[in-house]
Structure 1
Amino acid sequence: MKNSTRLTALAGTATLLAAPLTLAAIAPAHADVDRNGTCGAGRYELSVDRERRAGQAGFEVDAGLEGVAPYSRWTFVVRHDGKRVVTVTRTADDEGDVDVDTWRRNTAGKDKFAFRATQVGGTTTCGSSVTVR
C-alpha cells in the first residue's frame, strides 16, 4: 500500500472516530439532567428530559426511589418554579422501587424542578432540584 493511500485511510478513520466526540461536546447545551443521591437505605433519582408533546416544548420530569423497603409508602411532591404540581402517595413494589412522572410545559427563562419524597409513617425524607434553561 502506498504511503498516500495509508494516510488517506488513516485520515478517514480519524474523521469517523472524531465525529461522535464532536457531537458529544455540543450535547450539554441540549442535554437532559439527572440528579442522584441516597434516600435512607435506598437511592433517589430526579430526571428532567426535554420533550415536545403536541407541538409544545416542555419537560418530562421523573422522580423515583429504588432500594427502599418493599411495599413501603411514600408521598411525593413535585414542584415547577416553586409551584406544587404533583402530590401523590405511592407504594414501593416488591423490589423497593417507586416513582412518579409528569410532563410540564416550558416557561419563560429558567425552569426549576424539585421533588421531595417522604416515607409515610417514617422519618425518611429525601429530594433534589434541577434548574434548566
Structure 2
Amino acid sequence: MTHARTATAALAAASLIAAPLALAAPAHADGPEKEREFRVAGADVDFQVEKDDGRFEIDVDIDDARPGSKWKIVLRHDGKRFHKKVHRADSDGDVDIDKRRRDTKGADVFKVTVKKVGGTGKTRTIRIR
C-alpha cells in the first residue's frame, strides 16, 4: 500500500510541475518562426514569417531610421505581390508592417524588398515548407 501512495504522490508532483510548462507553449503554432535581419540605408530591418492556425503572419519592422524618412516596402508570396506601399518612419524612426496570408500548396516563399525613397534597396527571402 505504501508503494502505491508513493507512486501516486510522485505522479501528482510531476503533473504539477509539468502543467505550467504546458501552458507556456504556444497553443496554435503550426511551424517555426523564420527571421531575417539586415540593414538598409543605416536602418535595421527585421523580416519575420510565422505559420499560425494555418495562416502566415508576416512582419516587417524597420528600426533606427531617420524620423519622417520614407520607405518603399514590397512583399511577395510565391512571386505574387500582395503589398506595395511607401511608409513614413514615425517620430522614433520606426516602421511596422503586419500582414496575414493563407497557406498555399507546396513550399511557401516570402520575399521582402525594402528601399529608402531616394536611396538603394535590399531584398531578403524566407522559404517555409
Question: Would you call these one fold, judging by a TM-score over 0.5?
Answer: yes
Task: Report deviation, 1:34.
Answer: 3.5
> What is the one-letter code of the residue matched to 1:37?
E
* In 2: Cα distance, 1:120 partner to 1:126 partner: 12
Structure 2 distance, partners of 1:17, 1:130, is 37
The CA distance in 1 between the partners of 2:7 and 2:123, in whole Å, is 54
Q: Report Cα offsets for 1:17-71 as digits up to 9, x if no partner.
A: 346667989x9x823413142314332222223345xxxx432222121122211
- Residue 76 (structure 1) shift: 0.5
Aligned counterparts, 1:6-21, within 5 A = 8-18=8-18
Q: What is the rounded CA distance, in whole Å, between the counterparts of 2:93 and 2:79 in structure 1?
A: 29
User: Is 1:58 aligned to residue 73 of structure 2?
Assistant: no
Q: Distance in 1 between matches of 2:126 and 2:23?
A: 24
Q: How many residues align?
A: 126
Partners of 1:20 and 1:131 lie apart in 2 by: 33
Q: 1:69–1:92: 8 Å Cα contact kept in structure 2?
A: yes
Contact 2:76 2:82 in 1 (8 A): yes
- Write out the 4+ residue segments of structure 1 that deviate beyond 6 Å after TM superposition: 22-25
Aligned to 2:112: 115
Distance 2:110 2:23 in 1: 27
Instruction: Name the SS of the counterpart of 1:69 in structure 2.
Output: coil
Look up the match of 2:83: 86
Can you give the 5+ residue segments of structure 2 that lack an aligned partner in the other structure? none
1:70-98: per-residue Cα shift (whole Å, max 9, x none)?
Answer: 11110011010122221111011011111
